[in-house]
A = this chain, B = another copy of it.
Amino acid sequence: MATIRDVARAAGVSTSTVSLTFGEPSRVSDETAQRVWEAASTLGYRPNPLAQSLKRGHSRLIGVTVGDITNPFFGRLFKHVERNAHEAGYHVIVTDTDAQADREEQVLAQLDAQRIAGIILTAHGSGPHYTSHLERLKAPVVTVDHRVPGTKLDYVASDTRLAASIITEHLVRLGHRRIAHIAGTPHLFTAGERIAGFVETMRRNGLDVDHSLIVDGHFDYENAYAQTMRLLTRPDRPTALFAANNMMALGALQAIFELGFDCPRDISLACIDDVPWSSVIRPKITMVEQDIPELARIATDYLVSRMSVSGRDAPPRETILTPRLVMGTSTAPPPA
């Protein structure tokens, strides 16, 4: 690979002139620039980004961590983030953390040591150890979807408590009184908000909350399936299920099918997040959708502006989008 010195020699100028030609063409005379361009192109010269990054102190790479890239929510979020980042001139290192906070911490430390330019984080940890770890990072961090309470990081998400409220209200209006909530990983902010929204809305409607109907599905298919099997084989089984995310709704649906129930005739089901290819899943699940492209757009914008010199010490920003109910065919009044 040709280096800047090769080009300088070929064009009969110094390396600083070559560097200038690429970086600040206005400071170089037209004839000189011309000669440099020619020399560079015949030698096939491309500046070595490694050397540039070393000198500049940071790279044109951003890091993204997701809990599970095969979850369509994260997949679609990432797809948009990646496209935006590209347009802003960044490459994206993505790490699938399997929703494990310790893997996340470890990866973040490595990326930070790489002098990565910025990080978009779907956080999966909590507690003082975790937050202090995040605060120690040199790279700017934007959190998406999950908030990390106790940090001053930029944050973009949907109004998740409202989402839970909308679903709960919908089920209550249909006449359900025994509603189970398949909740997410307990210590996560988002999971807590969804539980809070559920409980609030139940109470507001004058309904008792049976805490044994709030179960931990850990945001994944398998746990939701197992918990639903347990819920639906109880003598006092619920008439409706509210899953805190898409994967858990699918796990719940499998349990409903296997136990021979009809959804929605016997059991209603609704969830937060977009269920993939919902039009071929029957019943079509009623859900509260997030605006994924917009989440991605704002997250990338926040990060890009924070990576600029001026944005470094700006006060933290946050945006909360309003989710919207998408009716399916998976909810109906409870059996008489």
Interface residues of A, count at CB 8 A: 45
A279 contacts partner chain B, Cβ-Cβ < 8 Å: yes
Contacts of A192 in B (CB 8 A): none
CA distance A106 to B104 in the complex (A): 31
Q: Which listed residue (B61, B70, B92) contacts A75, Cβ 8 A?
A: B70
Q: Which listed residue (B78, B114, B250, B282) contacts A91, Cβ 8 A?
A: B114
**A57-80 near B? 1/0 per residue, CB < 8 Å:** 001010000001110100110110
The stretch among A22-30, A45-53, A180-188 that forms the contact with chain B is A45-53
A86 contacts partner chain B, Cβ-Cβ < 8 Å: yes
What residues make up the interface of A, taking CB atoms closer than 8 Å to B?
A: 1, 46-51, 53-54, 59, 61, 68-70, 72, 75-76, 78-79, 82-83, 86, 91-96, 110-111, 113-115, 138, 221, 250, 253-254, 257, 276-277, 279-282
Q: Would you list 13 pairs from A and B whose C-beta atoms are within 8 A, ordered by A residue?
A: A48-B115, A49-B115, A50-B54, A61-B93, A70-B276, A75-B75, A82-B95, A86-B95, A91-B95, A91-B110, A91-B111, A93-B94, A94-B94
